[in-house]
Amino acid sequence: MIDPASAFSAGGALAMLGWLGLVIGLFLPRVRDWSQMAATALIPALLGIAYVLLIAQGWGAAEGGGYGSIAEVRALFADDAALAAGWLHYLAFDLFVGAWIARQGLEAGVPRLLLLPCFALTFLFGPAGLLLFLPLRLAFRRREIAA
């Protein structure tokens, strides 16, 4: 059995390592390949394994839990294993999106310093970081095409 509180803490620390690697990889090309691999595959896979184990552990524990209404989702996350699993889900997918932003941003020629706010927003508010990045990528791709 996995302790949900430990999974929550360890998952957060692991995700922070991935984000730190992405930031360092922006400015140190020698680290970039490693940070991309860690943030795209290794860390999300580890978080995914813990997620699956927590889901299996908490399956059926939350009475009235489900996805059909906001009340059912609230009930679903009343169980600590399901809540920790949900958190790991966010961490894994946000980090994966952050790695995609780093890769796409560098390819499109987005200045590295402009990628940092995208990272911060993606880490804190997921889709908000993606929404900031998408027009930046488009703007810098257009510059590249025009040149």
Domain boundaries, the chain: 4-146
In the numeric block, which tokens belong to residue 31?
């680290």
- What tokens does 6 get? 């430990």
pTM, entire model: 0.90
Instruction: Look at residue 21 in the predicted model and tell me its pLDDT.
Output: 96
Which residues, 6 or more positions from 106, have their beta carbon under 8 angstroms from its beta carbon? 26, 112, 115
Looking at residue 59, what DSSP letter applies?
T
Residue scoring higher pLDDT (59 or 52): 52
Asked whether the predicted pLDDT for residue 62 surpasses 80, the reply is: no
**Residue 59 clears pLDDT 80, i.e. is over it:** no
For 1-17, write each residue's pLDDT tens digit: 899 999 999 999 999 99
Residue 141 to residue 147: CA distance in whole angstroms:
10
CB under 8 Å to 22, separation ≥6 — which residues?
Answer: 35, 36, 39, 95, 98, 99, 102, 119
CA distance 10 to 18: 13
How far apart CA 26 and CA 13 sit, in angstroms, is 20
Segment 72-91 shows an average pLDDT of: 92
Summarised one tens digit per residue, pLDDT across range 131-145 is 999 999 999 987 766
